[in-house]
Amino acid sequence: MGNYWPSWRTIHYGYDIWVLRLADRKAQPFLRTPFNESVPRFFPDGHWLAYISNESGRYEVYVQPYPGPGGKWQISTEGGTEPAWNSNGQELFYRSGTG
């Protein structure tokens, strides 16, 4: 579904990633594309978001700054799912490949 940060929560809604601001309970889109983005995970400091997308034709892991501005970086190269940040913020783990 998503993960928490002290002032917001990510929400996977359909094929998009939304952010729910906890202060005013207002949801706003963060990623809206024709592709399926899901499994959003905030970096421990809350300024980066890892997620998966099938925009390349298969699921890969991407990272981009939150709330922006800035582009995204593709992290995985041969398929990737289930991104998870190390609690020290120095590493991003994910499941790679297709099996």
Q: What is the pLDDT along the chain (99 residues), one digit of tens a residue?
A: 445 444 556 565 668 888 887 778 888 888 889 999 999 998 888 889 999 999 999 999 999 998 888 899 999 999 999 999 998 878 999 999 765
List the Cα angle 27/33/37 in 5-degree steps.
75
Instruction: Report which secondary-structure segment, H or E, holds 41.
Output: strand 37-42
pLDDT of residue 98: 60
pLDDT of residue 14: 66
The model carries a pTM of 0.83
Main-chain dihedrals φ then ψ at residue 40, nearest 5 degrees: -70, 140
What percent of the residues of the chain are helix, what percent strand, and what percent coil, each to the nearest 5? 0, 50, 50
